Amino acid sequence: MRRAVFLDRDGTINVDKGYVYRPEDLELLPGSAEGIRILNEAGFLVIVITNQAGIARGYYTEKDVQVFHEHLQNVLNAEGAHIDAFYYCPHHPEGLPPYNVECECRKPKPGLILRAQADWDIDLHSSWFVGDKSTDLAAAKAAGCMAILIGSDQYCFRAIKSVEGPVMVSTVLNAANLIINSK
């Protein structure tokens, strides 16, 4: 079985500008590319797990998300890093049909993590989830992964209190170094 680091997207890898889907709006957070490269070199699968409620709300399409992910991959490749797979949830209970459903893939539920586990033969107990919201931490806990919270603001302090056990760091690079040094 393989080890993975699951990464949330907006607010973890790139700046969360609210419903980010256009390639020209991609702005990597400091340390993201370097942290991902370090994880790649250490042999971890790096998999993005992201809620994309903008699809359900009609703000953009699944194709838009795929184009954004291709662009993100190209930007990371230019920095010597890569994402092994992207998994996204297009649903939201208050969205438009056919996306207005209660699903198992929307974080805080672990459905996307479990799908990745099956697709990539991942050992969840030796894997990590790095995200910036309490829903990321809850999904990690539900799947049996170790969790790291990205951020330093008051929202993150509230999130860390809501789910026991995560470590808090300021960047994906700091998370990667913590993961590599915890072997």
CATH of the domain at 70: 3.40.50.1000
Q: What's the total number of domains in the chain?
A: 1
Tell me which residue of 46, 41, 48, 4 sits closest to 26, measured CA to CA: 48
Q: What is the pLDDT of residue 158?
A: 53
Asked if the structure places residue 86 within a domain, the reply is yes
Q: Is 182 exposed, middle or buried (0-12, 13-18, 19+ CB in 10 A)?
A: exposed
Asked if the structure places residue 134 within a domain, the reply is no
Q: Is 98 in contact with 63 (CB distance < 8 Å)? A: no
Is 123 marked within a binding site? no
Look at residue 54 and give its three-state secondary structure: helix
| Token couple for 148 | 């790291």
Model confidence over 112-170: pLDDT tens digits?
999 999 999 999 999 999 999 989 999 999 999 999 999 865 555 555 555 555 688 88
Annotated catalytic sites, by residue?
8, 10
Asked if the structure places residue 183 within a domain, the reply is no
Range of the domain at 85: 1-115
Asked if the structure places residue 168 within a domain, the reply is no
Is 53 marked within a binding site? yes
Model confidence over 77-109: pLDDT tens digits?
999 999 999 999 999 999 999 999 999 999 999
